[in-house]
Amino acid sequence: MKTNIGVFFGGRSTEHEISVISASQAMHAIDRNKYDVTPIYISKQGKWYTGDALLDVKNYKNIDELLSRCTEVYMRPVYNDYNLYKTKKPMFGSDVLTKLDVVIPVLHGSNGEDGIFEGVLETIGIPYAGCNTLSSANGMDKITMKMILKDNGIPVVNYIWFTDRQWFNQRDKLIEKIESEIGYPVIVKPANLGSSVGISRAKDRDELIQSVETAQKYSTRIVVEDMVEQLQEINCSVLGDCDDYQMSVLEEPIKTGDFLTYEDKYMGGSKGAKGMQASQKRIPAELPEEETSRIKFLAGETFRVLSCHGVSRVDVIVDRETRNIYVNEINTIPGSLSFYLWEATGISFTQLMDKLVSLAIKRKREQQAKTVSYDQNIFAMGGGTKGGIKK
């Protein structure tokens, strides 16, 4: 029997559509001689569906029609139950549709890349590809991520963070702090979204207020950071686990405006609309040898200190004036799983998918080797039940 890989995608995220594209690319790259593939699409409403019709991106033009050809499914949050169940229990026969062996989450953004979905997989105990709950959550939150990187000596731009409530209660104090500690221009970001959603820049106080208003529509946590005016963006993918990882060649995404917009990233610039593949990039990026190795080193360090796993992409900002390098962010479920960077490094997309599966199985084995002792019944040992509990 072949290993059955459940690929989860879509999801309750602003990056829903991008996830559909990434997953479709990934599913086509999986070696079918070795693996079976079960596509599991999570709708924007959070329902799960499976069916072969989900394999073709063209079918997503009419979601209702597509889903009418699929089966609604779910998994139980029960340890060791890897079954995929039909939501509509059949009158006769089993409600088990199939059993998964390994899961590959290709869910960009919220409720996927942030560790929330990974928590479900941990509960079930099924081997899965990519970062665990902790590293996903740390990598997704732009504030927590910066704190960890800074604490480990990895350069990040100056920043200040606050909650929407703090902004409401002490706006003037925060503005003063931003102006004295960072100074205009600044970039304002919601802490936990991707694809440039809710991000804007501000060159004066009015624009700052406007930008924070925008960002807080998306998140309760907001980060204001130093804007690098003459920036060069460089990305590097990292593959492995935190003890054994490798770096890809570097890419330089080409932008059409002041910063990479949703259109630049996925539609080939503001005029085109050709899908993710159309976005312009220079691979490998043309940089001096020293900068290339420094960026690769920082990308690896970012992956390591955040305890990442599987395939991530670390995005770096180079200040064209000073040539200072800053880590901007990590994407723990990168667009297209960064396959194009691995191809340029000499690892095919099929090999990349294979590697993700073996890493998932390896982690599960390592987890099982750790002692977890909760099988003793303290009540049976005559423990007292009076008074307070010290834990």
Ligand X SMILES: Nc1ncnc2c1ncn2[C@@H]1O[C@H](COP(=O)(O)OP(=O)(O)O)[C@@H](O)[C@H]1O
Cα–Cα distance for residue pair 24/274, rounded to 1 Å: 16
Residue 195 found at the interface with ligand X (CB under 6 A) = yes
Cα–Cα distance for residue pair 261/278, rounded to 1 Å: 14
Q: Which of 157, 215, 327, 347 binds ligand X (CB under 6 A)?
A: 157
Residue 227 found at the interface with ligand X (CB under 6 A) = yes
Q: Would you say 210 and 202 are in contact if contact means Cβ atoms under 8 Å apart?
A: yes
Residue 187 found at the interface with ligand X (CB under 6 A) = yes
Cα–Cα distance for residue pair 377/44, rounded to 1 Å: 43
Q: Which of 17, 113, 233, 251 binds ligand X (CB under 6 A)?
A: 233
How far from the centroid of its chain's Cα atoms is residue 195's Cα? 11
Q: Which of 27, 73, 131, 260 binds ligand X (CB under 6 A)?
A: 260
Structural tokens at position 376 = 């003793």
For ligand X, which stretch binds (CB under 6 A), given 65-73, 226-234, 295-303, 361-369? 226-234
Structural tokens at position 345 = 């490094």
Contacts with ligand X in 324-383 (CB under 6 A)?
Answer: 328-329
- Give the nearer residue to ligand X in terms of CB position, either 114 or 233: 233
Q: Which helix (H) or strand (E) holds 66?
A: helix 63-68
Q: What angle do CA 44, 306, 130 make, to 5 degrees?
A: 45
Residue 191 found at the interface with ligand X (CB under 6 A) = no
Q: Is 232 helix (H, G, I), strand (E, B) or coil?
A: strand
- Give the nearer residue to ligand X in terms of CB position, either 7 or 145: 145
Contacts with ligand X in 197-216 (CB under 6 A)?
Answer: 199
Q: Smallest distance from the beta carbon of 230 to ligand X, in angstroms?
A: 9
Q: Smallest distance from the beta carbon of 233 to ligand X, in angstroms?
A: 6
Cα–Cα distance for residue pair 304/152, rounded to 1 Å: 10
Q: Would you say 38 and 46 are in contact if contact means Cβ atoms under 8 Å apart?
A: no
Contacts with ligand X in 98-117 (CB under 6 A)?
Answer: none
For ligand X, which stretch binds (CB under 6 A), given 53-61, 118-126, 224-232, 277-285? 224-232
Q: Give me the residues that bind ligand X (CB under 6 A), please.
A: 157, 187, 189, 194-196, 199, 225-228, 231, 233, 259-260, 315, 317, 328-329
